[in-house]
Chain A
Amino acid sequence: MRNHPSGLPFLFFTEMWERFGYYLMIGIFMLYMTDAQHGGMALDRDVASDIFGTFIALVYLTPFIGGLLADKLLGFRRSIILGGVLMGIGYLMLAIPDSPVAFYSALGVMILGNGFFKPNISVLLGNLYNEERYKSLKDTGYNIFYMGINIGAFVCNFFAAWLRHNIGWGAAFAAAGVGMFIGVIVFLVGMKHYRHADVRKESAAGEMGVGRMLSSVLLPAIVTGIAGWMIPGNVFGTDSTDAFVFGSMPVIGFYLWILWKAKAEDKPRIKSLLAIYAVVIVFWAVFKQNGTALTTWAEFYTDRTLPEWVAAPARAINMAQEVKNDTSLVPKYDSQFRTTRDAEGNIVKEANVDPYFLNIPESERPPKGSSASLISTEIFQSVNPFFVVVLTPLVIIFFSWLRRRGKEPTTPAKIGWGLVVSALSTLVTVAAVYFCHNGAEKASAWWLIGAYGVITVGELCLSPMGLSMVSKMAPPHIVGLMMGGWQLATSLGNKLSGVLATMWDRYDNKADFFWVNFVLLTLAAAALFLLLRWLNRIFREQGLS
């Protein structure tokens, strides 16, 4: 660390706390929206999935605008502080109970804040390494920074679990806000270490200005998005999906227009990137179901009983979720854990055991009146960051080993294999459904941990090289726009993940739900491998094979 810029530790801890807040909120978001037992919003699962998908889609869309404004107007430090404060306020607003106005305003403020914060802290870090003496350490610097992200994402769910079980939902969301404000304070303390790195980029020749960008892309997108929301009835299932699809049309049209107008020598590079964006959408559509469908799977279908050697210390610090085996008034669930509503739209309740015990035979439940100590559902969200930390060195070693033998796959091939491995992860969940007889009994937690492990390998083949690949492949005068295209693809994938998750309750056999994911990923991988020779040729021509 001593050889790195003095600003690195401050940016590391700022990002760690920011991710702590974001992933804490994301880890319990679906649970909070669907909870009808402990003061949650009691929304139907499809409505909650739609909100979740739309939120994470917009969270990935606004950095495009935030990056642009920081670059041309606000500067990076101000954008980071403004974004951090907005996100902190958003999390605190989410802690306000029983107010749909506060809830939706909170989501809006968080989306806006993320747009200012997320892209600019990465750029500021990159700028710190632009000094000649640090240039060779840039990749290591980003790896250290990436560790901060994963530590924050790993730790936060334990805090969320403790707070929501011991105090309530509001305390957990407030903790996300506190984490974010700690991040902002750390950033302010280290200000003198990155003052010199807050330099705005000179506009390159042929680069599009903010005004033109706003009028030709963003304004039409907003107008068509609002039109999509307002049209009577639904074209794509829900108002938010209609708005998103309609709003995306001008943006997609804009990228096709860029391709149309590009010089002949630039066209293959743009085409290859657009082809990769299209398949990457499918990856995110499946991957981001960790917050929706897989959270539902963890909540109701997974055996979350803690082994006694973990349960005892967990109980000592109130970390275990204690669920008592007695009869009380609980929401009435069917065999697929769907709630039912009466004529007034209220969730029907009945005197029964806690829903967790519904698919556990009576003989295997704890004695009447005593409790089972469970691992809290959101802690499964820590499995992915854990695997990222553990598997990243292994994946790097594996590719280095292949490189030494002259067999390292090209970047497009790695993306293709990433899709194949991700498809395999859905087979793990399909197998889990068969082994637990479609939820008639609980599945071992190892199925879910295994599925997360496999999809993390897929993620590591595909995601880390994404932005660097775009920066190298895009024609120099539209690098920023093509980076935005990668973000847009992620955003569309996130939205699609919500759309797919809304269908969870429509499948009586949950294996069919996961088969759909498998088919989508397989088709995306097949499309990529069909284009592989063409993609490899273009990448080779750019010195990127």
Chain B
Amino acid sequence: MAKQKISRQRSSSVKDREEMRKFLTILVIATLALMILMYFIFAG
């Protein structure tokens, strides 16, 4: 029982970490794209 619980917690933690990685990747790419866009609009 306890083993199952630990394994469930571990898998949900791995899933959470993966989801967070995806979220951060999208956010970083979107931020960089916005910065580049702003550079071309306002400084170009």
CB neighbours (8 Å) of B13 from chain A are 195
Q: What is the 8 Å Cβ interface bit string for chain B, positions 17-37, against chain A (1 contact, 0 not)?
A: 000100110010001001100
Q: Given that A78-B23, A81-B24, A99-B42 are contacting pairs, would A195 and B16 also be in contact in the complex, using a CB cutoff of 8 Å?
A: yes
Asked if B20 and A85 sit within 8 Å, CB to CB, the answer is: no
Q: How far is the CB of A247 from chain B (nearest CB, A)?
A: 28
Q: How far is the CB of A59 from chain B (nearest CB, A)?
A: 21
Residue from the list B16, B31, B34, B38 in contact with A96, Cβ < 8 A: B38
Bound-complex Cα distance A54 to B27 (A): 28
Q: How far is the CB of B13 from chain A (nearest CB, A)?
A: 7
Bound-complex Cα distance A226 to B26 (A): 32
Bound-complex Cα distance A188 to B35 (A): 21
Residue from the list A82, A96, A101, A102 in contact with B27, Cβ < 8 A: A82
CB neighbours (8 Å) of B41 from chain A are 101
Q: What is the 8 Å Cβ interface bit string for chain A, positions 74-90, against chain B (1 contact, 0 not)?
A: 00011001100100010
B42 to A, closest residue via Cβ:
A96
Q: How far is the CB of A313 from chain B (nearest CB, A)?
A: 38
Q: How far is the CB of A83 from chain B (nearest CB, A)?
A: 11
Q: How far is the CB of B28 from chain A (nearest CB, A)?
A: 9
How many A residues, CB 8 Å from partner? 15
Asked if A85 and B16 sit within 8 Å, CB to CB, the answer is: no
Q: Given that A96-B38, A102-B42 are contacting pairs, would A89 and B31 also be in contact in the complex, using a CB cutoff of 8 Å?
A: yes
Q: Given that A81-B27, A82-B27, A89-B31 are contacting pairs, would A191 and B20 also be in contact in the complex, using a CB cutoff of 8 Å?
A: yes
Bound-complex Cα distance A188 to B42 (A): 30
Q: How far is the CB of A88 from chain B (nearest CB, A)?
A: 9
Q: How far is the CB of B1 from chain A (nearest CB, A)?
A: 21
Asked if B27 and A85 sit within 8 Å, CB to CB, the answer is: yes
B17 to A, closest residue via Cβ:
A195
Bound-complex Cα distance A102 to B24 (A): 25
Asked if A77 and B38 sit within 8 Å, CB to CB, the answer is: no
CB neighbours (8 Å) of A89 from chain B are 31, 34-35
CB neighbours (8 Å) of A93 from chain B are 38
Asked if A77 and B20 sit within 8 Å, CB to CB, the answer is: yes
CB neighbours (8 Å) of A102 from chain B are 38, 42
Q: Which of A63-118 contact B (CB under 8 A)?
A: 77-78, 81-82, 85, 89, 92-93, 96, 99, 101-102
Bound-complex Cα distance A92 to B35 (A): 10
A98 to B, closest residue via Cβ:
B42
CB neighbours (8 Å) of B38 from chain A are 93, 96, 102
A82 to B, closest residue via Cβ:
B27
Q: Which of B2-17 contact A (CB under 8 A)?
A: 13, 16
Q: What is the 8 Å Cβ interface bit string for chain A, positions 154-197, against chain B (1 contact, 0 not)?
A: 00000000000000000000000000000000001001000100
A86 to B, closest residue via Cβ:
B31
CB neighbours (8 Å) of A101 from chain B are 41
A198 to B, closest residue via Cβ:
B16
Bound-complex Cα distance A85 to B34 (A): 12
CB neighbours (8 Å) of B27 from chain A are 81-82, 85
Bound-complex Cα distance A466 to B12 (A): 37
Bound-complex Cα distance A191 to B23 (A): 14
A93 to B, closest residue via Cβ:
B38
A88 to B, closest residue via Cβ:
B31
B30 to A, closest residue via Cβ:
A85
CB neighbours (8 Å) of A191 from chain B are 20
Asked if B42 and A85 sit within 8 Å, CB to CB, the answer is: no
CB neighbours (8 Å) of B43 from chain A are 96
Bound-complex Cα distance A89 to B31 (A): 8
CB neighbours (8 Å) of B42 from chain A are 96, 99, 102
Q: How far is the CB of B8 from chain A (nearest CB, A)?
A: 14
Q: Which of A188-243 contact B (CB under 8 A)?
A: 188, 191, 195
A105 to B, closest residue via Cβ:
B38
Q: How far is the CB of A36 from chain B (nearest CB, A)?
A: 22
Bound-complex Cα distance A102 to B42 (A): 8
Q: How far is the CB of B19 from chain A (nearest CB, A)?
A: 9
Bound-complex Cα distance A85 to B27 (A): 8
CB neighbours (8 Å) of A81 from chain B are 23-24, 27
Bound-complex Cα distance A93 to B34 (A): 11
Bound-complex Cα distance A99 to B35 (A): 16
Bound-complex Cα distance A102 to B39 (A): 11
Bound-complex Cα distance A99 to B31 (A): 20
CB neighbours (8 Å) of A92 from chain B are 35
Bound-complex Cα distance A101 to B35 (A): 15
Q: Closest 4 A-B residue pairs measured CB to CB?
A: A96-B42, A102-B42, A99-B42, A78-B23
9 A–B pairs (Cβ distance < 8 Å), ordered by A = A81-B24, A81-B27, A82-B27, A89-B31, A93-B38, A101-B41, A102-B42, A188-B24, A191-B20
A sample of 16 more A-B contacts (CB under 8 A), given A101-B41, A195-B13, is A77-B20, A78-B20, A78-B23, A81-B23, A82-B27, A85-B27, A85-B31, A89-B31, A89-B34, A89-B35, A92-B35, A93-B38, A96-B38, A96-B43, A99-B42, A102-B38
